[in-house]
């Protein structure tokens, strides 16, 4: 056992918890010391990932054993668990969205001010975003950002195991789960977000949204958003296009940075790769920063305040009328 490695605990072993756990097991600076998930199948899921770690009896046990805790449980549990982590003096790495309740989220962010806490918006460490930033000087000042997010169905195929909450209006939907990532990018590129107008379409009952349109601002940069379910033959397809005074660049399908050529064609960066191949690199970068944050260093992980700003916009969109 290497005692110089960060003792990391995980609460919630769904898809996101498993992804970060696998990344942490391969990371030289982290050591998984405790895991908890209340689902009956969690113990077998953990055993399939690694036979060396057993499931803990409670979230409190994970917090007690760890220096930093990653919370990847459903959104309704984020605030209470995050409070428990910070009150125990541990560093907090929280899965987005920040919470399912805006009032509680605002109070939590105020309470947690100055503490070691961040939210998992992976674009903070994405090599694809690093490439887009490298191209920014070539396109001049950003004049607008256009975001599209299309889905064959919702939840996406790989998320069906979490459909009990992802498909419901109270906590789920693609605006919270997916569009929030691109809002994070727009905010980092342009500045503070503010919503101008939006429309949202819901199915009968308590199902999550099936379509959205929105206009907002990131600082002084106008941002347009469209999204829908049943609007692509693929599981999902997304595009964030950054239009500058002298050219345009875009992020396609999470991980392909592309630049508009003089001939009107889009060209991907030479080292672009599919998201499944890019994700481990991005998560390794996130873990580098979690280690540094826990040690008291400054990092550029998404802050709680940034996550709250994004949630304010998301919930504003979802509260709009068709």
Instruction: Please say which residue of 71, 88, 120 terminates a domain.
Output: 120
Residue 197 tokens, joined:
């107008």
CA distance 284 to 276: 13
Range 140-146 average pLDDT: 98
Instruction: List pLDDT tens digits, range 232-259.
Output: 999 999 999 999 999 999 999 999 999 9
64 and 157 co-located in one domain: no
Residues 313 and 166 grouped into a single domain: yes
- In terms of DSSP H, where are the helices of 67-204? 78-87, 102-111, 127-139, 163-166, 174, 180-190
Q: For position 301, what pLDDT does the model report?
A: 98
Q: Give the CATH number for residue 82.
A: 3.40.50.720
Look at 133 and 98; give whichever has higher pLDDT. Answer: 133
Residue 304 lies in a domain: no
Class of residue 89 by CB neighbours under 10 A (exposed 0-12, middle 13-18, buried 19+): exposed
What confidence score (pLDDT) does residue 1 get?
A: 41
Q: How does pLDDT run across 20-51, given as a tens digit for each residue?
A: 999 999 999 999 999 999 998 999 999 999 99
Shared domain for 246 and 264, answered yes or no, is: yes
Evaluate whether residue 10 is within a structural domain: yes
Q: Which of 88, 120, 152 is the last residue of a domain?
A: 120
Residue 110 domain flag: yes
Listed residues 72, 102, 120: the one ending a domain: 120
Residues 132 and 265 in one domain: yes
145: exposed, middle or buried (Cβ count in 10 Å: 0-12, 13-18, 19+): buried
**Total count of domains within the chain:** 2
The reply to whether 1 falls in a domain is no
- Answer yes or no: do 165 and 139 share one domain: yes
Are residues 132 and 268 part of one domain? yes
Contacts of 220 (CB under 8 A, 6+ apart): 190, 191
Closest to 147 measured CA to CA, from 179, 172, 121: 179
The two structure tokens encoding residue 238: 């997304």
How confident is the model over 111-124, as a mean pLDDT? 97
By residue range, what is the domain housing residue 17?
Answer: 6-120
Put residue 264 in one of left, alpha, beta given phi > 0 → left and psi -120 to 50 → alpha. Answer: left
pLDDT at 315: 95
Residues 92 and 161 in one domain: no
Domain of 153, CATH number, reads 3.30.360.10
What 8-state DSSP symbol labels residue 84? H
Q: What number of CA atoms fall less than 13 Å from residue 8's CA on the CB side? A: 32
Mean pLDDT of 89-99: 95
Rounded to whole angstroms, what are the CA distances from 123 to 151, 188, 319? 20, 10, 26
């Amino acid at each position: 056992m290497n005692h110089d490695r960060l003792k990391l605990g995980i609460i919630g072993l769904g898809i996101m918890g498993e992804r970060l756990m696998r990344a942490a097991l391969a990371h030289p600076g982290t050591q998984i010391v405790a895991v908890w998930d209340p689902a009956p199948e969690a113990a077998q899921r953990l055993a399939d990932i690694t036979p060396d770690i057993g499931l803990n009896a409670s979230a409190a046990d994970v917090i007690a054993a760890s220096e930093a805790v990653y919370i990847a449980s459903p959104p309704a549990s984020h605030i209470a668990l995050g409070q428990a982590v910070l009150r125990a003096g541990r560093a907090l790495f929280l899965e987005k969205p920040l919470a399912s309740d805006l009032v509680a989220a605002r109070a939590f962010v105020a309470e947690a001010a100055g503490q070691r806490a961040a939210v998992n918006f992976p674009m903070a460490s994405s090599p694809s975003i690093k490439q887009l930033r490298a191209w920014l000087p070539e396109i001049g000042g950003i004049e607008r950002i256009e975001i599209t997010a299309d889905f064959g169905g919702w939840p996406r195929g790989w998320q069906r195991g979490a459909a009990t909450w992802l498909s419901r209006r109270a906590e789920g939907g693609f605006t919270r789960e997916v569009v929030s990532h691109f809002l994070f990018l727009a905010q980092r590129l342009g500045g503070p977000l503010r919503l101008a107008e939006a429309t949202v379409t819901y199915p009968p009952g308590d199902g999550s949204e099936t379509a959205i349109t929105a206009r907002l601002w990131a600082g002084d940069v106008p941002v347009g958003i469209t999204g829908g379910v049943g609007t692509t033959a693929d599981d999902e397809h997304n595009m964030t296009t950054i239009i500058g005074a002298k050219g345009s660049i875009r992020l396609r399908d999470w991980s392909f940075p592309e630049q508009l050529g003089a001939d009107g064609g889009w060209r991907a960066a030479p080292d672009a790769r599919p998201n499944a191949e890019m994700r481990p690199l991005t998560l390794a970068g996130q873990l580098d920063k979690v280690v540094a944050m826990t040690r008291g260093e400054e990092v550029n992980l998404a802050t709680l305040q940034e996550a709250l700003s994004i949630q304010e916009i998301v919930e504003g969109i979802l509260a709009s009328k068709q």
